[in-house]
């Protein structure tokens, strides 16, 4: 539990011991936990950074543990605020990139090229794969990834990974329930790649060596074609968009933890935000990569948790509780 809050195992042990034995100093803590005094001091610094220890009034020169009801609640509140700020920056970056891509897609400039149709896109991806030297970043929204397409990509990915190139793939949380996508993701992980998921992610995107990128001409139908971008300013914006989305995503091997205060998962919280902004069930489902039936099921669970008889009432109660 403490690790999810950014606390090391050693610091968590020190914190628990200080709660149980508030009079123990550094020496006593070291003896009790089988640590060196300098290790205890390092863990105390870690706890101090999270404001989980304070100066003791009863024992001058020592620290006391802040109660979990106060200290851990404050840690969660700060993490939620940081996450909200990152998500706000991500949303602003997504809007800026969408505008930039739309402007660039209208013309074939010196540093951008239209690739029309899947064959042209696939050929360019193969070409870029052979030339990549450091990393390949990919955003893969939705759950409609066909098994044959994923299988066909493995040979190229294996060759790239064997050369020491870093592959990072970003998917939506919804794929965690799609067996063939999960199997492909674990194949990538087993071969040294990295996979993360988030409730909502940017549009489909491939970035190679942070110098070239492919983005869809029409995000609503990515099979129509792509824009191959090499202009540094636009590639940098796309890299920043990916990095922000990656920072808020969770590694595939790690489970998403429900918010301790609300009991909401990230997907449920994002669904409330999307519906609260006026989106329909279908549109919200598309953004989350889930069906309208799943949207209805999630909302029914949220309404039951809130004791609401209608979505309107649920919205009011959610806002009152600070869930929106």
What pLDDT shows up at residue 4?
57
d(CA 181, CA 274): 25
> Are 150 and 184 in contact, with CB atoms under 8 Å apart?
yes
CA proximity to 23, closest of 60, 68, 72, 69: 60
d(CA 261, CA 106): 47
What pLDDT shows up at residue 324?
60
Long-range CB contacts (within 8 A, 24+) of 313-316: 315/272, 315/275, 315/276
Structure token pair of residue 30? 């070291």
What pLDDT shows up at residue 81?
79
Q: Matching CATH topology for 2-66 and 77-251?
A: no
Written out in words, the top-level CATH class of the domain with range 266-320 is mainly alpha
> Are 163 and 238 in contact, with CB atoms under 8 Å apart?
no
The residues facing 136 across adjacent strands are 167, 208
1-29 tens-digit pLDDT: 565 566 788 888 888 888 888 878 888 88
d(CA 68, CA 250): 25
> Are 65 and 19 in contact, with CB atoms under 8 Å apart?
yes
CA proximity to 142, closest of 205, 217, 226, 201: 201
Tokens 């950074």 identify what position? 49
Q: What phi and psi values does residue 24 have, to the nearest 5 degrees?
A: -70, 135
d(CA 263, CA 321): 12
Written out in words, the top-level CATH class of the domain with range 77-251 is alpha beta
pTM over 0.85: no
For residue 60, the tally of other CB atoms under 10 A from its CB is 7
* Positions in the chain whose pLDDT score sits under 50: 108-110, 257-258
Q: Does domain 2-66 have CATH number 1.10.10.10?
A: yes
- Give residue limits of the domains in the chain: 2-66, 77-251, 266-320
């Amino acid at each position: 539990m403490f690790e999810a809050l950014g606390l090391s195992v050693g610091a968590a042990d020190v914190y628990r011991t200080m709660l149980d034995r508030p009079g123990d100093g550094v020496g006593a803590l070291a003896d009790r936990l089988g640590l060196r005094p300098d290790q205890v001091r390092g863990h105390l610094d870690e706890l101090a950074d999270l404001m989980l220890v304070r100066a003791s009034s009863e024992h001058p020169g020592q620290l006391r543990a802040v109660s979990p009801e106060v200290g851990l609640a404050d840690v969660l509140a700060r993490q939620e605020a940081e996450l909200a700020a990152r998500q706000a920056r991500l949303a602003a970056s997504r809007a800026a990139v969408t505008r930039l891509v739309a402007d660039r897609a209208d013309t074939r400039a010196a540093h951008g090229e239209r690739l029309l149709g899947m064959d042209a896109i696939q050929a360019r991806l193969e070409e870029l794969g052979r030339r990549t030297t450091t990393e390949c970043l990919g955003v893969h929204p939705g759950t409609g990834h066909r098994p044959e397409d994923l299988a066909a990509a493995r040979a190229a990915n294996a060759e790239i990974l064997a050369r020491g190139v870093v592959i990072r793939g970003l998917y939506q949380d919804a794929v965690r329930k799609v067996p063939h996508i999960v199997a492909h993701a674990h194949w990538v992980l087993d071969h040294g790649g990295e996979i993360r998921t988030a409730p909502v992610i940017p549009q489909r995107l491939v970035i190679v060596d942070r110098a070239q990128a492919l983005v869809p001409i029409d995000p609503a139908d990515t099979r129509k074609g792509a824009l191959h971008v090499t202009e540094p300013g636009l590639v940098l914006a796309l890299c920043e968009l990916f990095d922000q989305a990656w920072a808020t995503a969770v590694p595939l091997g790690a489970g998403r933890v429900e918010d301790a205060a609300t009991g909401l998962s990230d997907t449920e919280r994002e669904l409330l935000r999307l519906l609260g902004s006026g989106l329909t069930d279908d549109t919200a489902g598309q953004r989350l990569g889930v069906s309208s039936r799943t949207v209805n099921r999630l909302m029914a669970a949220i309404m039951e948790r809130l004791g609401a008889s209608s979505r309107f009432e649920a919205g009011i109660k959610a806002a009152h509780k600070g869930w929106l």
